Amino acid sequence: TEWNREKIIIGHTDVPFTEAGLRQANELAALLKPIRFSAVYASDSPRAFHTTEIVAGIKSSSIKKMVELRERDFSLFEGMPATLFMEQNKESFLAKNALPEQEQWHFKTAGCVESDDSIVTRTISILRHISRSHLRETVLVGTHGGPIRFLLVKLGFARYGSLPGGSFKNCGY
């Protein structure tokens, strides 16, 4: 999106694709074309849902929208440049970083931004539901960078804090 390019916090806000975003979705669709998906799930965020629709190559009515697959809720900070968000919440980030790791998972920046634990808990919960519903099937799940990063940490593929925002590219898989 234009906000991605300008490093503006998106979260749950609906921001349309750029030409580059559309190209990325089509490139991923071409790469995954040989795979037959038994089911397709996507975040109910329009940008993630549209990406999933392109990648899956199916009608949107066949895709199950899931609120649990949304990006982090940045609350009143959505639409703000990331540098300004970091500057305005410098003390909050310092307080978080001073905590033991387990407490950092539950920390809410500025008291209102969704915690890392909340993101990963809802992501794991819905993925568990999806996997139980589709045993031995190939399923496509379209979500956002934040949920993917925190899932990878919880699964032991990275250490907490080692995958900052932007470390998982758009249309990554």
**Backbone dihedral angles phi then psi of residue 168, each to the nearest 5 degrees:** -115, 110
95-117 confidence digits (pLDDT tens):
999 999 999 999 999 999 999 99
23-64 confidence digits (pLDDT tens):
999 999 999 999 999 999 999 999 999 999 999 998 888 999
Q: What is the rounded distance in angstroms from the CA atom of residue 74 to the CA atom of residue 95?
A: 18
Pick from 110, 112, 25, 118: which is nearest to 71 by CA?
A: 118
Contact indicator for 42, 66 with CB cutoff of 8 Å: yes
